[in-house]
Amino acid sequence: MTIHSPTSTTDEILDVTDRTEAVNNGDASDLARTAPRGPVMETRDLNVFYGDFHAVHDVNLSFGRHEITALIGPSGCGKSTVLRSLNRMNDLVAGAKVQGSVTYHGEDIYGPKVDPITVRQHIGMVFQKPNPFPKSIYDNIAYGPRVTGMKVTDMDAVVEDALRGAALWDEVKDKLKSPAYGLSGGQQQRLCIARTIATRPDVILMDEPCSALDPIATARIEDLMSELKTEFTIIIVTHNMQQASRVSDRTAFFTARPDETTGNRTGLLVEFNRTQDIFEAPADPRTEAYITGRFG
């Protein structure tokens, strides 16, 4: 199976007027009332196991084109597990098993004939801690196009475009051959974003990309995300409620249910809606308790 990139323009978003949407407890009809039309990606009854441990239970989500979706919730509720399922990063974890479906433009990315490397070319990822390669700034950006076999007539232009897209070009244009490790933490994270967009993915996953950064660097990354969503669909895991409310269009709130026998915590999706609705009129009291700081 071939994973196809989109060719259509921005999809119309479903107008949600009821500010007390039903809680999404895995019911697709509830999801349809809160989700974007013509989504780029969807999960249906997504369950993730690590060996016998049931990490995530029946997650139904829909991610709209040119939107930022924030995944929030207390530690151990499965946010990052869900995020890693969206580009098959869990394939790299021993004993991990995914049930249900994850679709990208209607195609199941876990289909038997789908190459996970191809999936990750279309669905890129930026990790919590900046992880530049031990190479020059230039070679960090050029690495992806080179190893994926992109047809590039002018690599210098690709590098410049990616660095401009990550709002880093003016800061590094005179030291492209310098080691990437010489950059500040915030610059390294923007370099990692530039490295991701250099291969022209459709979706960018971000796993707490600002957790290791100072407030100034965090503000730059947030501004950058708002700019990037004009070209990409972005899905972000964050523990920062203010960040979720500032940058995202939709928010999914997760919680964890402990097993009475083992004490293991299984992640559950509690509520998914427009971010304004989640923060101003949440439908579930658990959501309100979390965003107001009464638990988590």
In a domain, 54, yes or no: yes
- Residue 160 in this model has a pLDDT that exceeds 80: yes
Q: Which neighbouring-strand residues pair with 235?
A: 69, 205
pLDDT at 6: 47
Please tell me which residue, 14 or 198, carries the higher pLDDT value.
198
Residue 293 binned pLDDT confidence (cut-offs 50, 70, 90): confident
In a domain, 50, yes or no: yes
pLDDT in tens, 218-246: 999 999 999 999 999 999 999 999 999 99
The pLDDT of 51-72, averaged and rounded, is 95
Residue 25 binned pLDDT confidence (cut-offs 50, 70, 90): very low
The pLDDT of 61-70, averaged and rounded, is 96
Query: Contact 244/33 with Cβ under 8 angstroms?
Result: no
pLDDT in tens, 239-260: 999 999 999 999 999 999 887 7
pLDDT at 35: 66
Neighbours of 128 (CB within 10 A): 15
Domain count, the chain: 1
CATH classification at residue 278: 3.40.50.300
The pLDDT of 60-78, averaged and rounded, is 95
pLDDT at 8: 37
Instruction: Indicate the SS3 state at residue 66.
Output: coil
Termini Cα distance of the chain: 42
pLDDT at 38: 76
pLDDT at 290: 93
Average pLDDT, the chain: 87
Of 15-24, 31-40, 59-68, which has the strongest mean pLDDT?
Answer: 59-68
In a domain, 192, yes or no: no
Structural domain span for residue 272: 28-135+201-291
In a domain, 258, yes or no: yes
DSSP string, 20-63: SPPP-SS-HHHHHHHSPSS-SEEEEEEEEEETTEEEEEEEEEEE
pLDDT in tens, 163-178: 999 999 999 999 999 9
pLDDT at 185: 94
Q: Is 5 exposed, middle or buried (0-12, 13-18, 19+ CB in 10 A)?
A: exposed
- Residue 30 in this model has a pLDDT that exceeds 70: no
In a domain, 17, yes or no: no
Residue 261 binned pLDDT confidence (cut-offs 50, 70, 90): confident
Positive or negative, the Cα torsion across 174, 179, 184, 187? positive
- Residue 1 in this model has a pLDDT that exceeds 80: no
In a domain, 13, yes or no: no
Residue 33 binned pLDDT confidence (cut-offs 50, 70, 90): low
- Residue 184 in this model has a pLDDT that exceeds 70: yes
pLDDT at 4: 55
In a domain, 278, yes or no: yes
Q: Model pTM?
A: 0.86
96-104 vs 107-108, strand pairing mode: antiparallel
pLDDT at 87: 96
- Residue 50 in this model has a pLDDT that exceeds 80: yes
pLDDT at 137: 98
In a domain, 187, yes or no: no
pLDDT at 14: 30
Report residue 186 as tokens.
């915030």
